[in-house]
Amino acid sequence: MKPARPDDRCAPQTQIVITRHGKPAGVLIGFETEDDWFDYCLENDPRFLDRIESARSSLRAGRGVRLEDA
């Protein structure tokens, strides 16, 4: 079987598994726009996710400012 070749027929958000000696070694992810790539980076960045969780915890604890008051 021939290995998959990325070309114009690949859909946006295509994931291609890269192998080394027949074992998965990485994933090539295609994005339609730079914004899609940036969103993916944020959604998978543990530091960003920690900050979001911290902010949500603060809001649940009542330590926040309503948008109307800002």
| Cβ atoms of 52 and 60 closer than 8 Å | no
| Cβ atoms of 18 and 24 closer than 8 Å | yes
Global pTM reads 0.55
- Nearest Cα neighbor of 37 from 13, 7, 5 is 13
DSSP label at residue 67: G
| Cβ atoms of 32 and 13 closer than 8 Å | yes
Per-residue pLDDT of the chain (70 residues; tens, 9 = 90+): 445 555 555 555 678 999 999 999 999 888 889 999 999 999 999 999 999 999 999 999 989 887 888 7
